[in-house]
């Protein structure tokens, strides 16, 4: 009897111990779960704050850039017109070209010193010097098609170049390297027009550099090529040629400045100004609106024509289908092909008809 009681008490104790361990385990799991939930909440709260801070900084940076652009435009367009007597002595040159064309070395060759760093330019920069008893200001710009800059950043730097050349630039020099011009087939003309307006072409001269690096035969082939001829047409045939920086002597620079003066003289002394820039911007905006309106109108006309044609064709084929099906001379699939062929004969766009036939054959569906 005593042994039985002892066994029962031992069994009860084990059950109590197991129950206690179970409760402790549950409590431990509950605390771990609570701790994990607390950590998740803290992590989510931290991420939320970081996200809000990032959005706030991005908004501030965006507002700062917008304010800079507004201020830059305000400063640029509030400049006074150039003084003619002062303009005779000073000369302001803006260098343009594709990325890696050699604008910075050319600027250093004109100024006769290492004024610009000869690397991929990311920002417009101005350097000044005294050349041929004249004050020369050269504005170096980032190259077109620069992979390190977005279109908006490039446009901003081009506007900055106008600000640096205030009150107005006398000439835009489009730099083309004769060693690599065969690879420069991209549309630099379009880039100039987009950033400075169509009227900027009147104040632009092509400057070929690196004449000493190629033979006379190669030079003739380049200047007589259809690509270069088409390019020069945009600038009324204006171009000048100099050697590379290491072989460019003062006489070549003197003749370059003389060519620029002749271009300014041929323009009647008129220089590129913010008025021309604003007028071109307005004209381009009006043109884009006209093109958009015209496209919308053409789309509407085509839609109405298609709907009218489809309605007439459906009525016609409904009659034909009734006749053929009643005489059991044509299957449903052949009837669909007949629909496509007649539709195509009435449509101007046969590509649409071709796509319809292909869809009918592959999916056996009809729009």
pLDDT at 241: 94
Most confident range (mean pLDDT) of 8-22, 140-154, 336-350 is 140-154
3-class SS at 273? Answer: coil
Return the exposure string of 152-172: e unless at least 16 CB atoms fall within 10 Å of the residue's CB, then b. eebebbbbbbbbbbbbbbbbb
Q: Report which of residues 29 and 74 the model is more confident about.
A: 29
| Tokens standing for residue 123 | 């920002």
Most confident range (mean pLDDT) of 91-95, 99-103, 283-287, 320-324 is 91-95
Q: Report which of residues 44 and 308 the model is more confident about.
A: 44
Which stretch of 95-109, 163-177, 221-235, 295-309 has the lowest confidence by average pLDDT? 295-309
pLDDT at 322: 44
Which stretch of 64-68, 102-106, 327-331 has the lowest confidence by average pLDDT? 327-331
Q: Is the pLDDT of residue 358 over 60?
A: no
CB proximity list for 186: less than 8 A, separation 6 or greater? 98, 144, 145
User: What is the average per-residue pLDDT within 239-249?
Assistant: 90
User: Hey, which bits of 89-148 come out as E strands?
Assistant: 90-96, 125-131, 134-140
pLDDT at 326: 43
Residue 196 near residue 172, CB atoms below 8 Å: yes
pLDDT at 174: 94
DSSP structure class, residue 181:
T
Residue 75 near residue 155, CB atoms below 8 Å: no
Q: Where are the domains of the chain?
A: 77-272, 302-363
pLDDT at 163: 87
Average pLDDT, the chain: 76
pLDDT at 323: 45
- 366 falls in which pLDDT band (50, 70, 90)? very low
pLDDT at 278: 58
Give the separation between CA 229 and CA 9, rounded to whole angstroms.
111
User: What is the average per-residue pLDDT within 266-292?
Assistant: 61
Residue 145: C-alpha distances to residues 148, 190, 282, 285, 292 (Å)? 9, 12, 25, 23, 27
DSSP structure class, residue 364:
-
Give the separation between CA 141 and CA 121, rounded to whole angstroms.
7
- 359 falls in which pLDDT band (50, 70, 90)? low
pLDDT at 87: 46
- 346 falls in which pLDDT band (50, 70, 90)? very low
* Pick from 96, 33, 341: nearest CA to 234: 96
- The alpha helices in the chain, defined as continuous H runs, are 2-77, 84-89, 103-111, 151-164, 188-196, 216-223, 226-233, 250-266, 274-327, 332-346, 350-363
* Pick from 251, 258, 206: nearest CA to 109: 251
Q: Is the pLDDT of residue 272 over 50?
A: yes
Q: Is the pLDDT of residue 184 over 90?
A: no
* Pick from 86, 129, 90, 94: nearest CA to 261: 90
Give the separation between CA 213 and CA 204, rounded to whole angstroms.
24
- 108 falls in which pLDDT band (50, 70, 90)? very high
Furthest-apart CA atoms within the chain: distance in Å = 131
pLDDT at 313: 58
Q: Is the pLDDT of residue 282 over 60?
A: no
Q: Within a 13 Å sphere around the CA of 88, how many CA atoms are in the beta-carbon half?
A: 2
- 83 falls in which pLDDT band (50, 70, 90)? very low
Q: Write the CATH number of the domain with boundaries 77-272.
A: 3.40.50.300
Give the separation between CA 83 and CA 324, rounded to whole angstroms.
87
Return the exposure string of 87-96: e unless at least 16 CB atoms fall within 10 Å of the residue's CB, then b. beeebbbbbb
Q: Is the pLDDT of residue 284 over 90?
A: no
Residue 140 near residue 155, CB atoms below 8 Å: no
| Tokens standing for residue 283 | 């004209």
Which stretch of 20-29, 81-90, 158-167, 262-271 has the lowest confidence by average pLDDT? 81-90
DSSP structure class, residue 82:
P
pLDDT at 119: 79
Place of tokens 């001829």: 229
Q: Report which of residues 17 and 1 the model is more confident about.
A: 17
- In tens, the pLDDT along 123-146 reads 899 999 999 889 999 999 998 888
- In tens, the pLDDT along 220-232 reads 998 998 888 888 9
User: What is the average per-residue pLDDT within 192-215?
Assistant: 90
Count of all residues that appear for the chain in the document: 367
């Amino acid at each position: 009897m005593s042994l039985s009681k002892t066994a029962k008490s031992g069994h009860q104790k084990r059950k109590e111990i197991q129950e206690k361990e179970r409760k402790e385990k549950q409590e431990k799991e509950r605390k771990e779960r609570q701790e994990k939930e607390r950590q998740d909440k803290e992590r989510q709260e931290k991420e939320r704050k970081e996200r809000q801070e990032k959005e706030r900084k991005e908004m501030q940076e965006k507002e700062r850039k917008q304010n800079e652009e507004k201020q830059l435009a305000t400063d640029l367009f509030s400049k006074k017109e150039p003084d003619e007597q002062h303009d005779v002595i000073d000369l302001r040159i803006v260098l343009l070209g594709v990325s890696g064309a050699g604008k910075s070395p050319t600027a250093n060759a004109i100024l006769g010193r290492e004024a610009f760093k000869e690397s991929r330019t990311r920002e417009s920069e101005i350097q000044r010097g005294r050349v041929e008893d004249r004050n020369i200001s050269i504005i170096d710009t980032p190259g077109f098609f620069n992979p390190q800059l977005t279109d908006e950043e490039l446009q901003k730097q081009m506007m900055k170049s106008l600000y640096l050349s205030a009150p107005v630039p006398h000439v835009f020099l489009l730099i083309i390297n004769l060693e690599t011009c065969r690879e420069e087939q991209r549309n630099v003309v379009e880039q100039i027009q987009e950033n400075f307006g169509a009227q900027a072409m009147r104040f632009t001269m092509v400057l070929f550099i690196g004449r000493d690096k190629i033979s006379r035969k190669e030079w003739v082939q380049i200047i007589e090529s259809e690509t270069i001829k088409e390019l020069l047409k945009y600038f009324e045939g204006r171009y000048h040629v100099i050697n590379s920086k290491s072989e460019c002597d003062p006489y070549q620079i003197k003749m370059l400045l003389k060519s620029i003066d002749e271009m300014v003289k041929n323009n009647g002394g008129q220089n590129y100004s913010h008025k021309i820039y604003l007028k071109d911007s307005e004209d381009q905006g009006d043109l884009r609106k006209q093109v958009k309106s015209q496209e919308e109108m053409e789309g509407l006309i085509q839609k109405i024509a298609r709907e009218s044609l489809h309605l007439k064709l459906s009525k016609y084929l409904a009659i034909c289908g009734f006749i053929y099906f009643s005489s059991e001379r044509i299957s449903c699939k052949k009837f669909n092909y007949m629909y496509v062929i007649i539709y195509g004969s009435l449509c101007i766009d046969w590509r649409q008809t071709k796509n319809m036939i292909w869809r009918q054959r592959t999916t056996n569906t009809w729009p």
